[in-house]
Structure 1
């Protein structure tokens, strides 16, 4: 534990939805949901206006639409998110050489390496306030919630306490006072199964957890998990802020509109996913030893199976063969709603996390249509030349540009028609126009790559 509150955790509020509201004036102050837009899609981020109706991350899009049917449901624009994230990381790295990104929207900063006159509570509080104002400036109005404490764990807990646009600094020596009344689920790694095990022995809060001996926790939860929970219950966390974060795995998964029951079809889908994973590995100069498949059954039971190779590979045939072999051991007769393939144990590390690229169809891995059964119940292979996409590839929220009307975004598409609202972050609320999906005057607008940001102030 540090003697000063010198670990800062910054979390951009409702990040994906906030970027959409920033860039789409007509959506400001209105509920916005970003994620899979199909019947089996999953919510990635909901704006605070949507959260007021009970919409949450990881909720099915179907349920979200039932709770908030009037929200804007958008498929997401990772180019815009990456550019905004790069601006924030550049700002953080100008403050301290030790910045540890956790994802596009959150990071730890080591203030002990920052150029601060002192690390007392007043000084770090003033610094954090200035930082939040700077984030708003470099992002075009996005807000960030910040926690500052003597450890990563407490700083992250603190950043959640006054969302959105909040700041909590935990003075050294008060960490346990902050934690004791909190539910045990605030501890990293304490999911529903662990919560239930603890509930059975009367443990609900961190104060309750402090009454359980370390030996008893180890017996209940295993050695590693038991020791970790005991330490964090007493705010003991000596993890350092690491400027280099290792990419742990590369994976692809798909959720399907109809439950899959045909094993040949599942094997074909795994083969395609394995090829995508291998391509991403090669593109980033990596290879891996452990192949994992993820299978979510019709009843939402999720199964994971892994196998480790004697040496690293980026060969799609090897990954696919092992993925199909892992599937052989699973009973999928009741139906499968999600399949995924991943490779871990990477041989060469890269700093950036892999989010896919602009030439990837964001929906291709999210929703796939299995072939329809024929009258005898057998799967009919798809035609060699499938029918044209009635949406023209235009997804809700996508940036487009028209030769006459300028830049805008896709309001909706289908039946050969795409509807566009013409507005940007710098314009007032704009008009709506509809076009044929093949209109040559309408094209996708590519977001410019993020500028190189300075690493020194």
Structure 2
């Protein structure tokens, strides 16, 4: 029996805007184009949704529904950075991650031994880590396949956690409206309603032959989803681009000595995350700093081929000399003011087997 988690960020773009500008938290806000340029709403927070505002709505119409609506212009770089951070947290739990979009992903945790194999405990950890490290909440659904996990993640939004256990699938699915099946839009729903089919229990009475005759290949999916079935596998297609570790501090830390000490303390967890059988090579090192005002900066350098080969072996054999990261601190600290609320360190990786001749040569010297 599989254990599938679906994680979905709550009003993601709006959540990032509220995080970076706390003054917006209690206001109706949306992210989208300007009304005078015929813009549309990309997303909005739950306060704005109470006014009937939703994604894809023209901004001008949204402002008529809620004149107090704060419309934020999109900041894709900030959203992408946060999304990458969230994905890095997912990858700490399992490599079986399928990224569906910038704000949602599936995780197959069937073979994860952490948390005694409990998908519920894993989900709670994910929610805690994502909110603690990024300031964004996620809604999580757990079940035996992708279809049910996605339904579950939407069941108790926002910031929800809902589980559809194997022995609950039959009862749960029987009353599920057909509109909840992914791919059933207004047209398909109307055709089903005309036949007196409004929920999955009623849909179960229709044969696969009848469904494929009317809906083509989608009829097979309808037949399966009506029974809570979904045989799709997790499609990872993921090449790890970096390995890193971060820590958010309860109180901001200040002073070069304290920050340097805190950075060195990240060496052990970084080594623990470095797979011994990794086929990729270290190509650069970086540190990440988030200041008290939530501004974030990353400093990255490419050491010499000899240093890279030595670093690769140190990480692989759990003997990292983290002092190599310290020179990056001076540059990083010069880019902001105030204390540090988050500190991170990591390595960027090359494409698999993409070794330069220089690195290959120095690897041989270090190995032998």
Q: What residue number does 1:191 align with?
A: 185
User: Is 1:25 matched up with 2:19?
Assistant: no
Q: What residue number does 1:146 align with?
A: 140
Q: What are the Cα deviations for residues 328-380 of structure 1, in whole angstroms up to 9, with x where unaligned?
A: xxxxxxxxxxxxxxxxxxxxxxxxxxxxxxxxxxxxxxxxxxxxxxxxxxxxx
User: Is 1:110 matched up with 2:108?
Assistant: yes
Separation (CA, whole Å) in 1 of partners of 2:177 and 2:40: 26
Which of structures 1 and 2 has the larger relative contact order (alpha carbons within 8 angstroms, sep 6+)?
Answer: 1
Q: What residue number does 1:210 align with?
A: 204
Q: What residue number does 2:35 align with?
A: 38
Q: What residue number does 1:437 align with?
A: none
- Structure 2 gap ranges (5+): 240-290, 296-335, 337-343, 350-368
Separation (CA, whole Å) in 2 of partners of 1:179 and 1:73: 38
User: Is 1:160 matched up with 2:154?
Assistant: yes
User: Is 1:128 matched up with 2:123?
Assistant: yes
Separation (CA, whole Å) in 2 of partners of 1:453 and 1:68: 46
Separation (CA, whole Å) in 1 of partners of 2:31 and 2:168: 38
Q: What are the Cα deviations for residues 96-135 of structure 1, in whole angstroms up to 9, with x where unaligned?
A: 011111111100111024233644xxx2212211211011
Q: What residue number does 1:82 align with?
A: 80
User: Is 1:241 matched up with 2:234?
Assistant: yes
TM-score, length basis structure 2: 0.64
Q: CA RMSD in A?
A: 2.5
Separation (CA, whole Å) in 1 of partners of 2:347 and 2:219: 42
Q: Do the aligned residues in 1 keep the contact of 2:115 with 2:121 (CA within 8 Å)?
A: no
Q: Do the aligned residues in 2 keep the contact of 1:13 with 1:142 (CA within 8 Å)?
A: yes
Separation (CA, whole Å) in 2 of partners of 1:192 and 1:152: 22
SS at 2:221 equivalent:
helix
Separation (CA, whole Å) in 2 of partners of 1:192 and 1:41: 25
User: Is 1:231 matched up with 2:219?
Assistant: no
Cα shift at 1:235: 1.1
Q: What residue number does 2:5 align with?
A: 8
Q: Do the aligned residues in 2 keep the contact of 1:7 with 1:111 (CA within 8 Å)?
A: yes
Cα shift at 1:204: 1.3
Separation (CA, whole Å) in 2 of partners of 1:245 and 1:95: 14
Cα shift at 1:20: 0.2
SS at 1:173 equivalent:
helix
Cα shift at 1:35: 1.5
Cα shift at 1:424: 5.0
Separation (CA, whole Å) in 1 of partners of 2:206 and 2:225: 13
- Structure 1 gap ranges (5+): 247-406, 408-422, 427-444
The verdict on how the C-alpha distance between 1:180 and 1:59 changes in structure 2, with shifts beyond 3 A counting, is: farther
SS at 2:114 equivalent:
coil
Q: What residue number does 1:182 align with?
A: 176
Separation (CA, whole Å) in 2 of partners of 1:172 and 1:106: 23
Q: Do the aligned residues in 2 keep the contact of 1:102 with 1:108 (CA within 8 Å)?
A: yes
TM-score, length basis structure 1: 0.52
Separation (CA, whole Å) in 1 of partners of 2:345 and 2:8: 21
Cα shift at 1:172: 1.1
Say how many residue pairs are matched: 250
Q: Do the aligned residues in 2 keep the contact of 1:32 with 1:49 (CA within 8 Å)?
A: yes
